[in-house]
Chain A
Amino acid sequence: MTLFRSLFDIIGPVMVGPSSSHTAGAVRIGLAARSIFGQQPEEAVITLYGSFAHTHKGHGTDLALIAGLLGYSLDQVEIRKAYQLAQEAGLTPRIHLSDEMTEHPNTARIVMRRGDREHSVTGISTGGGLIDLTEIDGFNVHVSCEEPVILVFHRDRPGLIARVTHILADEKVNVSQMEVSRKAKGETALMLIATDGEIPERALKGIELIEDVKSIITLSALKREAL
């Protein structure tokens, strides 16, 4: 199995210490959550599990997650002052520690709120600063944030997947990975589509207009390091 491809997977990333999994990965989970929320939340309830819960103080995992939510990248020393920056930016972070067992030891769940908007994201830090999102708004997903992703929340109806992929095909967008999940038959379902390049605005508009599509969220690829 080839885990590492580039020289810069080995010599890099440039990051604020002390840990690529507990600090750099945590910044990226925060950044991904912010990107999903689409704006800065007013409140973020952050629950840390496993090793994140036990060692967050020493690794600055809480600081890193908050800094990511504020839009800071992994090589900005401002991460150290994340609580102060959050206050200045109007974000109230609340940290909870959970002793619940999770599949991965480095897990964080973030519930973001602004006005009556609420979204939740669970992320795991898999090592070397790489992350996976495993839950979005209660749906189980698998998002590595290495490529752009569009999340389509829709009513669970036959033919809907075809209509969405048709629009992408018309805009010459190549789908690299696709995943569908639902909470129950006929209820809200989530279609997760990873693409090779960013999805044009026109395609997004087209998908949003499809009957039975409730909402869409786009998530850009996270750079492996801030350059």
Chain B
Amino acid sequence: MIIEKFAQIVDCCERENKSLAACFLEREVELGDSDQASVLKRMERNLQVMEEGARQGLEGVESFSGLSGGDARRMLDYSQSGPPLGGSLYFQAAMIAAAVNEVNAAMGIICATPTAGSSGIVPGVLLACRDALKLDRRAQLDFLITCGGCGLLIGNQASLSGAAGGCQAEVGSASAMAAAALVEAAGGSPKASGHALAIALKNLLGLTCDPVASLVEVPCIKRNTVGAVNAIVAAEMALAGVTSKIPADEVILAMGSIGRMMPVALRETALGGLAQTPTARKISQMLQGEGKVDLENL
């Protein structure tokens, strides 16, 4: 059966007394004409790519445009000088999200989750929380499976592309996926995962895609940090018993409908918003000319 709605997967979990990850994995095996071992093996490779991306980003990278890179490294140095004000786990999630997305901007290797532009959020949440939750390797793969399953429900009911739905469809979706998976990893119920998904996505509804000079750098990298932290906030609220008054599927449909109403200028075309600020225009001109941004002379 093709599962289209979050409510359906919750029914399936409750009826068969299974986790979201177990239901999504079963479905993948059925539809994908594959077996569990090969799905897990493929997911393991994706996890390794995320770990390697975080490592590279924290060492420090620079994008070809010169517009981004080095912020994750700055954050790491800062956190080593004393405990971050907002708590080390939240900070780690933000820092790893930035690291992976900086690697993406620098043409490094990443795993799209669900897109390249939002590829920092899922690794940020998973790699920051796995030790605190004592997740073994299989539980980490389950985290990614739940993320993937939730992404399918969002993508097929709304959208996952900035060109179609704005940043809410990329960073919003990634954050919602990670929130649902984090609830499950922390021992919450499938219903609670749904609340986390709904809360995380609601918090980012309306987010536009207005990338400076059409590059996946500004504001994308910093949005990844917010997506990761938002996922943890939403997950903790759901674990505390907070519910979303609007059910997950309705929030997803609302995201799709907002995306369709969004003007084209705010959907990855760089014709509006941040992309048309005086500084952004200057950056575009520099790139057209020298192919590189001189940050000192902005």
Q: Which residues of A contact B (CB under 8 A)?
A: 1-21, 23-24, 51, 54-55, 57-60, 75, 77, 79-80, 105, 127-129, 227
Contacts and interface: CB of A to CB of B under 8 A. Distances in A.
Contacts of A3: 155-156
B258 interface: no
Given A6-B31, A18-B104, A57-B291, 19 more contacts: A1-B156, A2-B4, A2-B156, A4-B155, A4-B156, A7-B39, A10-B113, A10-B160, A14-B112, A16-B108, A16-B110, A17-B104, A18-B217, A19-B117, A55-B270, A58-B216, A59-B215, A128-B115, A128-B160
A129 B161 CA distance: 11
Contacts of A54: 214
A30 B10 CA distance: 42
B213 interface: yes
A77 B119 CA distance: 17
Contact of B42 (A4, A8, A21, A77): A8
B64 A127 contact: no
B49 A14 contact: yes
B107 A16 contact: yes
Contacts of B161: 21, 127-128
Nearest to B31: A5
B217 A10 contact: no
A77 B63 CA distance: 14
Contacts of A77: 107-109
Interface stretch (B143-151, B183-191, B222-230, B239-247): B143-151
Contact of B116 (A4, A5, A19): A19
Interface residues of B, number: 55
Given A7-B149, A7-B152, A60-B64, A20 B116 contact: yes
B31 A11 contact: no
Contacts of B108: 16-17, 77
Contacts of B255: none
A19 B63 CA distance: 13
B145 A7 contact: yes
11 contacts: A4-B152, A6-B31, A10-B148, A16-B109, A17-B108, A17-B109, A17-B116, A18-B215, A58-B217, A58-B287, A128-B161
A14 B46 CA distance: 7
A23 B270 CA distance: 17
Contacts of A18: 63, 104-107, 116-117, 215-217
B107 A17 contact: yes
A58 B148 contact: no
**Most central of B42, B149, B291 by chain A CB within 10 Å:** B42
Contacts, number: 149
B151 A4 contact: yes
Contacts of B63: 18
Given A8-B42, A10-B113, A60 B148 contact: no
Nearest to B63: A18
A138 to B, nearest CB: 29
Nearest to B42: A8
Contact of A23 (B28, B116, B148, B217): B116
B151 to A, nearest CB: 3
B24 interface: yes
B152 A128 contact: no
Nearest to B292: A57
A80 B42 CA distance: 25
Please give me the 10 A-B residue pairs with the lowest Cβ-Cβ distance, nearest first: A10-B151, A17-B104, A7-B148, A55-B214, A18-B216, A58-B215, A11-B148, A10-B148, A4-B155, A10-B114
A12 B116 contact: no
Contacts of A75: 109
Contacts of A1: 156
A58 B213 contact: yes
Contacts of A19: 116-117, 216
B110 A15 contact: yes
B2 interface: yes
Nearest to A17: B104
B213 A8 contact: no
A219 B42 CA distance: 26
Contacts of B270: 55
Contacts of B114: 9-11, 128
